[in-house]
Homo-oligomer: A and B are copies of this chain.
Amino acid sequence: MDLFYVLLILLVATRAFGELAERLGQPSLVGELIAGIALGALVAQYPGSFPDLVDIAHNDVFVTITDLGMFFLMLYAGVEMQPHKIVQYSGGSLVVAVGGMAVPLGLGLALGWIFLPESELRTAQCLFIGTALAITAVPATVRILMDLGQLDTPVGQTIVSAAVFDDVFSLMLLAWLTGLIAVGEPPGLVDIGILLGKILLFFAITACIGLYIFPWGGRFMHHLRAQELEISAMLVAAFAFAVLAEMLGLHFIVGAFVAGLYFGHRTIDKASYERVKRTISGMTFGFLAPIFFASIGLNLNLDALSGAPLFVVVLILAAFFGKVAGAGGAARIYGFSARESAAIGIGMSPRGAVELVIAGVALKAGLFSAAVSDAPEVRNLFSAVVIMAVVTTVVSPIILKRAFSIRGDGGKPR
């Protein structure tokens, strides 16, 4: 793979399609995703003309660049968000998270039971569909809310906090699921306790470091002379939290997000904070995030559309309905207005980024292997989930924009 050629093509395509999307009144993210889908289709049609782009979604180097994109996006979201607001809205977001988790999970289990044939892995497959419906792609959600100028509103903060909760729960579910596939029987209560303990440990350690070590580090930095030290310090914290998250069974994006969250006015002076934020914003939205969103589109594989079309359509409908009824319903009960609740439900619908990770883990674990079953729904389960992930990520921002502008406080102009 010629790195610079690939980056050139992807950056030009995503920024051009993003601009086009803006002109059509849609968030740039929609254009970037469609750029990836279009490039993927073009390469599939004429593989000889784009040898560097063939199967690029599985190239180690390219995956690293997209991982960095996800990492910086989550770091930026953390830096941009105010921890005290997260605490302030934590009640609402916890309720929304539970609703947004339970309903899709139930729907997924039911869907699996209806569509998938009996086999020894059927329970695991049903659980996989449930997990796939329960997650929310935080990086995509963050970007959508930013594009619409809603990240810092009560609705935005509730969506992101609830989405982070849902991802943490879903990753627990995934760990439990891979245990089920590997051992053949579900992990016991002790294992679940250990899993939960590790997650609590992660948040306890990062809270101690974020609340006590970060401010001390910020003061200590004033005595140092090295250049561009604030950026390094921020990245060191984020890398460390990402490593810790992975050690304790969470995805690295949770670490990056939490590191950003604790980086604020308590840590360093306002001028340095703004400078770090601007640098991360430039690298993220000017370079890495478009490449990352294009890669989601590049992963799209339409096999399932011919193999199991009904299943795909039902899965996509369940994806939207599950979050709107689950998260939106919970928000309505908690006291949000009907329109805010609808926005919260739609805002939690994108499955783009994290879904691909979860589906990849399940694929490696052998959940969709032909040896298990020859039914088209099983053979095409991976492709179906990826289609669902891409469709929800492209469609949600389009609906969400409408929901916000009906509310009358539409996207802030940039």
**A residues whose Cβ falls under 8 Å from a Cβ of B:** 2-5, 7-8, 11-12, 15, 18-19, 22-23, 28, 60-61, 64-65, 67-68, 71, 224-232, 235-236, 239-240, 242-243, 246, 252, 255, 275-276, 278-279, 281-287, 290, 414
Contacts and interface: CB of A to CB of B under 8 A. Distances in A.
Nearest to A64: B61
A15 B285 contact: no
A4 B243 contact: yes
B287 A232 contact: yes
Given A8-B240, A276-B282, A232 B15 contact: yes
Contacts of A19: 224-226
Nearest to A284: B228
A232 B279 contact: no
A67 B6 CA distance: 14
A73 to B, nearest CB: 13
A8 B243 contact: yes
Contacts of A11: 232, 235-236, 239
Contacts of A414: 225, 227
B8 A239 contact: yes
Contact of A286 (B2, B60, B229, B243): B229
Given A4-B252, A243-B5, A285 B60 contact: no
B231 A283 contact: yes
A292 to B, nearest CB: 14
B64 A3 contact: yes
A224 B227 CA distance: 34
A4 B228 contact: no
A242 B252 CA distance: 32
9 contacts: A3-B64, A5-B243, A15-B229, A19-B224, A225-B414, A227-B414, A231-B286, A235-B286, A279-B286
A33 to B, nearest CB: 14
A279 B28 CA distance: 21
Nearest to A21: B226
A4 B64 contact: no
Given A231-B283, A232-B286, 19 more contacts: A2-B246, A3-B64, A4-B243, A4-B255, A7-B235, A7-B239, A11-B235, A11-B239, A18-B226, A22-B225, A28-B227, A61-B64, A227-B286, A227-B414, A228-B284, A228-B285, A230-B286, A231-B286, A278-B279
A244 to B, nearest CB: 10
A129 to B, nearest CB: 30
Nearest to A63: B61
A10 B231 CA distance: 15
A219 to B, nearest CB: 16
A18 to B, nearest CB: 5
Nearest to A61: B64
Contacts of A255: 4
A281 B68 CA distance: 18
Contact of A239 (B4, B65, B225, B276): B4
B279 A283 contact: yes
A286 B278 CA distance: 14
Contacts of A8: 236, 239-240, 243
Contacts of A290: 232
Contacts of A246: 2, 4
Closest 8 A-B residue pairs measured CB to CB? A231-B286, A279-B282, A228-B286, A8-B239, A228-B285, A4-B242, A231-B282, A232-B286
Nearest to A289: B228
Given A15-B226, A228-B285, A230-B286, A243 B2 contact: yes
Contacts of A242: 4
Nearest to A252: B4
Contacts of A243: 2, 4-5, 8
